[in-house]
């Protein structure tokens, strides 16, 4: 039996990593639908209002809590979820992957993030939730509120980039670092949207879960495409072995 056939024969139909991804994707989808249902019924308004006002000066709702430098720093964080920054980072990482010779993986990356943009836009048009009107907006906005586009696109972009970059990095520690960094940035972006008064907290929660579900689905599809030979294989860390004399 050829070597590649022996390898395929011992691989399970659904690998543990793929099963774990499916479970997390399902959990994210369940949370998103639950939040969306509660939002549409108005059940989250009291909680949303309490959290939003808790981040404002009680005597002056137009003034976010904290010093001026904190407000300015939060604006920097929110910019990490802006369309221009996300586009630049996406093409920058695509260039890096091309330099590594991962042409098909790069095309898959661009399709994944491009599809995420369409997904985010459709979700906003579908729910069409008004923006918070309790406090002044400290950032310019034009679209609907639910789900948070910055939070959703940050999760989609940074998690997808991290997952696909991890495929060309053999060291497990760096793979974990990339995923962790993507989660951290997505978290900062989401919190900044609430702090600046341009989103309800449930908008951000929905954006995080929908974005994570999309990015993890792309990661899962990448694994399946690798098994089908459609994209370049993941680079895996090689455990050194010690040859013992007979």
Respond yes or no: is residue 100 known to be catalytic: no
Alpha helices (H) along 142-171: 149-166
How far, in Å, CA of 170 to CA of 224, rounded? 19
Q: Select from 65, 22, 81, 36 the least CA-distant residue to 205.
A: 36
Of 100, 125, 137, 199, the active-site residue reads: 199
Of 100, 125, 137, 150, the active-site residue reads: 150
Residue pair 75/138 in contact (Cβ under 8 Å)? The answer is yes
With vertex at residue 174, the alpha carbon angle to CA 108 and CA 176, rounded to the nearest 5 degrees, is: 80
How far, in Å, CA of 218 to CA of 55, rounded? 35
How far, in Å, CA of 119 to CA of 10, rounded? 37
Q: Does a cis peptide bond (omega within 30 degrees of 0) precede residue 147?
A: yes
Total length of the chain: 246
Alpha carbon of residue 207 to chain centroid: 9
Q: What is the largest CA-CA distance in the chain?
A: 81
Respond yes or no: is residue 3 known to be catalytic: no
Catalytic residue list: 150, 199
């Amino acid at each position: 039996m050829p070597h590649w056939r022996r390898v395929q024969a011992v691989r399970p139909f659904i690998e543990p990593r793929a099963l774990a991804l499916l479970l997390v994707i399902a959990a994210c989808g369940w949370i998103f639908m639950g939040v969306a249902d509660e939002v549409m019924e108005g059940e989250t308004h009291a909680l949303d209002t309490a959290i939003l006002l808790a981040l404002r000066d009680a005597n002056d709702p137009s003034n976010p809590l904290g010093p001026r430098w904190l407000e300015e720093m939060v604006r920097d964080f929110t910019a990490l979820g802006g369309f221009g920054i996300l586009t630049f980072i996406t093409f920058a990482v695509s260039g890096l992957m091309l330099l590594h010779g991962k042409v098909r993986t790069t095309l898959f990356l661009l399709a994944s993030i491009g599809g995420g943009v369409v997904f985010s836009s459709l979700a906003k048009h579908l729910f069409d939730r008004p923006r918070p009107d309790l406090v002044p907006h400290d950032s310019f906005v034009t679209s609907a509120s639910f789900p948070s586009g910055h939070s959703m696109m940050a999760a989609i972009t940074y998690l997808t980039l991290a997952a696909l970059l991890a495929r060309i990095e053999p060291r497990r520690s760096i793979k974990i670092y990339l995923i962790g960094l993507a989660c951290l940035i997505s978290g900062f972006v989401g919190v900044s949207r609430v702090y600046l008064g341009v989103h309800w907290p449930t908008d951000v929660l929905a954006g995080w879960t929908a974005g994570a579900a999309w990015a993890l689905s792309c990661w899962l599809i990448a694994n399946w495409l690798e098994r089908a030979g459609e994209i370049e294989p993941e680079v895996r860390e090689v455990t050194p072995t010690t040859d013992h004399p007979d």
